[in-house]
Amino acid sequence: MSGNTLRGIFVPTLTPVDDNLAIDVPRWAELSLHLLETGAHGLCPFGTTSEANSFSVEEREDALVQLIEGGIDPAVLMPGTGCCALSDSVRLTAHAVKQGCGGVLFLPPFYYKGVSDEGLYRSVAETIDRVGDDRLRMYLYHIPPQAVIGWSLDLIERLITDFPETVVGIKDSSGDWDNQNGLLTRFPGFGIFTGSELFLRKNLQGGGAGSINAVANLISPFERKLFDNWQSPEADEWQAQINQLRPTYTGMAPIPAIKQLMAHYHNDPAWLRLRPPLVPLSESDAATLLFKVKPLTVMANASW
């Protein structure tokens, strides 16, 4: 397997929008620079937490260029480029490679359910062939709770075998430790990121590459501390501290909840905006969330 893989704490950055629901690039760049300055190894713009599928191909292309022009090193970027339409996946993937991005996060074409491994294999193979660039480093995005379909272990093995220098990793957002452990056991050396901060230390213990998780928008310095010191005697305690944030918004819409927390800790109500069909939390849910998160204020405020 290729040794040219990314590692560390990668943040699937929230996407701020302005009053017209367009991407607010200056605010987005400010967040991105701050995350990198305070602990994140890299960023995954246009992942699930980024509301990626609420934005067009053109919007995503333009915003990525502006983000890089705003001072972000493309080598630390792993933008989401997988779409339902093959042509959109090819276009976004080629664009990311052209900009010099260190990798792409490739969601399976998720609209049709019950598709075969063969169909998913062809979606990857066609994308790689049509992009036609040896610089492409693809990280599969496994998120069956959202996409329903996903990447089976047998399919991953076939892709690694046929495209060893291109298909170099995966983000496992299944929320299923057994699946992630299966990846770690079967594919040593593969760039395996956990999509849950809850599994960060266990993933590192198993030889994983790191984590790509939503709450890193809020507490990336703490996740970086654990990443750098996962073998230390204090690592279990740090993992337990990190684990406290997710339960505060369990049962709520996660993206509106994280934007609510971003607005609160950054003292910036503009973060409450979402592009439909997503909407902000109700007043009662917002109040409940902020009440639950009070004990974690020191941790979150330290990130800002």
pLDDT per residue over 111-133, tens digit each?
999 999 999 999 999 999 999 99
pLDDT at 46: 97
Q: Report pLDDT for 295.
A: 77
How many CB atoms are closer than 10 A to CB 93? 24
Tokens standing for 184? 């770690």
- Tell me the CATH class for 8-244: alpha beta
How far, CA to CA in Å, does 193 sit from each of 72, 88, 99?
22, 25, 23
> Is residue 181's pLDDT more than 70?
yes
Q: How confident is the model at residue 300 (pLDDT cuts 50, 70, 90)?
A: low
| pLDDT exceeds 80 at position 196 | yes
Give every strand in the sheet of 8-11, ordered side by side. 42-43, 8-11, 210-212, 191-194, 167-172, 138-142, 104-106
Supply the mean pLDDT for the chain: 95
**pLDDT tier at 294 (50, 70, 90 boundaries)?**
confident
- Residue 303 and residue 192: Cα distance in Å, rounded? 26
Q: What is the arithmetic mean of pLDDT over 86-112?
A: 98
**Is 229:235 a contact under the CB 8 Å cutoff?**
yes
Q: What is the pLDDT of residue 1?
A: 44
Does residue 180 register a pLDDT over 50?
yes
Residue 13 has pLDDT above 80, yes or no: yes
Q: What is the pLDDT of residue 5?
A: 80
- Nearest Cα to 220, choosing from 99, 289, 276, 302? 302
Mean pLDDT of 58-85: 97
Mean pLDDT of 85-108: 98
Residue 80 dihedral angles phi and psi, to the nearest 5°: -75, 130
Chain centre distance of CA 205? 21
Task: Indicate the length of the chain as a whole number.
Answer: 304
pLDDT at position 2, please?
Answer: 45
Residue 296, pLDDT score: 76
Compute the average pLDDT of residues 189-212: 98
Give CA–CA dist 192/203, Å, rounded.
8
Average pLDDT of the segment spanning 260-277 = 95
Look at residue 299 and tell me whether its pLDDT is greater than 90: no
Please name every residue paired with 140 in a beta bridge, in sequence order, or none if there are none. 106, 170
pLDDT in tens, 142-178: 999 999 999 999 999 999 999 999 999 999 999 999 9
Burial 172-195 (b: 16+ CB within 10 A, else e): bbbeeeebbbebbeebeebbbbbb
Give me the amino acid identity at 187: F
Confidence band for 179, pLDDT divided at 50, 70 and 90: very high
The alpha-carbon radius of gyration of the chain (Å, integer) is: 18
Q: Hey, where are the domains in the chain?
A: 8-244
Q: How much of the chain, in percent, has pLDDT values that exceed 90?
A: 94
Is residue 108 reached through a cis peptide bond, with omega within 30 degrees of 0 on the bond before it?
Answer: no
- DSSP H helices in the chain: 25-37, 57-69, 86-98, 117-131, 144-147, 153-162, 177-186, 200-205, 216-228, 235-242, 254-265, 283-293, 297-302
Give percent of the chain above pLDDT 70: 96
